[in-house]
């Protein structure tokens, strides 16, 4: 049997804070979502003046990263390379901004960011994922 690490609410908040710091540094208004390893919402923050549509999109990006255990950008790149049938994958939002959260190499959840260009969303998500990787 595996011993399972579980992302706590406190840890999820600190991951969100790391991502938020990157967004604030760049003056990007985004929605940041952290889900647990079952894809269930732990924390969500919509920064002031972020479009409402980004609430759902950030959650879907996080769930995509979790379900497929890879950055949502990898699915986006696969589709851009011509494998358009990947658009039919259930639960896939193939747009950059979703990343798995790994702690000691184990999947504990995911982060999704939406609100600016998808490449910028990805930078904010990466800041959160990088912080998560330091947790033990």
pLDDT in tens, 72-131: 999 999 999 999 998 899 989 999 999 999 998 999 999 999 999 999 999 999 999 999
Which residues make beta-bridge pairs with 113? 32
Top-level CATH class of 9-132? alpha beta
Predicted confidence (pLDDT) per residue in 7-44, tens digit: 999 999 999 999 999 999 999 999 999 999 999 999 99
From CA 135, how far away is CA 50, in angstroms rounded? 29
pLDDT grade, residue 50 (50/70/90)? Answer: very high
Domain boundaries, the chain: 9-132
Average pLDDT over residues 46-55: 98
Name residues whose C-beta falls within 8 Å of residue 58's C-beta, 6 or more positions apart in sequence. Answer: 30, 31, 32, 33, 44, 97, 112, 113, 114, 115
Strands 41-46 and 106-114: unpaired
- The residue behind tokens 């919402």 is 41
pLDDT number for residue 136: 80
Q: Return d(Cα 9, Cα 135) in angstroms, integer.
A: 13
């Amino acid at each position: 049997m595996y011993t399972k690490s579980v992302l706590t609410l406190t840890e999820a908040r600190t991951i969100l804070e790391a991502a938020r710091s990157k967004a604030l540094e760049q003056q990007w208004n985004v929605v940041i979502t952290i889900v647990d390893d079952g894809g269930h919402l732990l924390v969500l923050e919509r920064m002031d003046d972020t479009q409402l549509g980004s609430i759902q999109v950030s959650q879907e990006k996080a769930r995509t990263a979790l379900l497929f255990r890879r950055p949502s950008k990898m699915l986006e790149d696969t589709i851009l390379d011509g494998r358009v049938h990947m658009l039919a994958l259930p639960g896939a939002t193939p747009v950059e901004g979703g990343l798995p959260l790994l702690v000691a190499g184990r999947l504990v959840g995911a982060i999704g960011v939406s609100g600016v260009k998808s490449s910028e969303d990805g930078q904010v998500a990466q800041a959160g994922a990088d912080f998560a990787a330091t947790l033990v």
